[in-house]
Amino acid sequence: MNFSEVFKLSNQLCKFSPDGKYLASCVQYRLVVREVNSLQILRLYTCLDQVQHVEWSADSLFILCAMYKRGLVQVWSLEQPEWHCRIDEGSAGLVASCWSPDGRHVLNTTEFHLRVTVWSLCTKSVSYIKYPKACPQGITFSRDGRYLALAERRDCKDYVSIFVCSDWQLLRHFDTDTQDLAGIEWAPNGCVLAAWDTCLEYKVLLYSLDGRLLAAYCAYEWSLGIKAVAWSPSSQFLAVGSYDGKVGEGAPRGEPGGRAWLAGVPSGLTCHPPPGAHPQPRDLEGSH
């Protein structure tokens, strides 16, 4: 086994590009891009402040650097070093930033989770999505990049909104049978959305694209809640890990005895847009 020379790093910010050709690392306010094969420096960018988050676009052409303390995001181009984009959230602040699947939109979550701002790098348009919920996994994209599912909290009630990523218009909006929604996750085939409750309530709910409840699963009562959820590649099974500290397997009938449970997903599901449903603006204030 061969080891490279040690190089400096800040805040454990080190990411490989999705295509595996480049390695991005941050040292204070500097972004360094290296070629993986030789580890030679390919690009060196200077940000406006210390970087707290770095993320590659899906096509490995752009790099996002977020500076939460200043409410700033800077986007750098690997092919055109002279091009860069600066996004300033101003007084709204910034607590999270991520790429859309197409790698041409940046989604910023403002302080206190007042809204999600969608910035287009191509058209320079800005769209706003209200009521994002402050939960560990409240934003998830379908595997094909067509849809965005967003966990919301309105009037002490949990909801999920599904948006079309091509124009960021609302496709579906429905409430969830949860006390305190903790996370959502698309199935790989994009037909089913899994939602799970707070750590004090063991409950997994499966919803269709049009908001119908397909199944509800509870391994057992009087237990700690769900810690992690993962779909199988075929979208037929859902692995659920809980906080109870045990290791084992459980059946969908709900007998206790394990931290890892495998629930079967209802068969016969077809993946298509809701009948008669057309994208319509709702809680999306529009572009300007």
pLDDT tens by residue, 75-132: 999 999 999 999 999 999 999 999 999 999 999 999 999 999 999 999 999 999 999 9
Per the model's pLDDT, the better-predicted residue between 281 and 240 turns out to be 240
Mean pLDDT across the chain:
87
pLDDT of residue 90: 95
User: Residue 7 corresponds to which amino acid?
Assistant: F
Strand, coil or helix: 152: strand
Per the model's pLDDT, the better-predicted residue between 139 and 239 turns out to be 139
pLDDT of residue 266: 55
pLDDT of residue 223: 74
Residue 116, classified by CB atoms within 10 Å of its CB into exposed (0-12), middle (13-18) or buried (19+), is buried
- pLDDT tens-digit map of 207-259: 999 999 999 988 777 778 888 888 989 998 888 888 876 433 333 333 333 34
Structural element, H or E, at residue 242: strand 237-242
pLDDT of residue 271: 53
C-alpha pair distances (Å), 153 with each of 39, 184, 221: 45, 13, 25
Percent of the chain whose predicted confidence (pLDDT) is above 90:
73
In this prediction the pTM is: 0.85
As a whole number, mean pLDDT of residues 60-87 equals 97
Residue 1 has pLDDT above 50, yes or no: yes
Q: Tokens 């996370």 — which residue? A: 183
pLDDT of residue 283: 34
CA gap 185, 228 in Å, rounded = 10
Ordered structural domains, the chain, with CATH: 8-130 (2.130.10.10), 131-246+259-266 (2.130.10.10)
pLDDT of residue 265: 58
As a whole number, mean pLDDT of residues 162-181 equals 97
As a whole number, mean pLDDT of residues 15-20 equals 98
Number of helices and strands (H, E) in the chain? 0, 24
- pLDDT tens-digit map of 173-210: 999 999 999 999 999 999 999 999 998 888 999 999 99
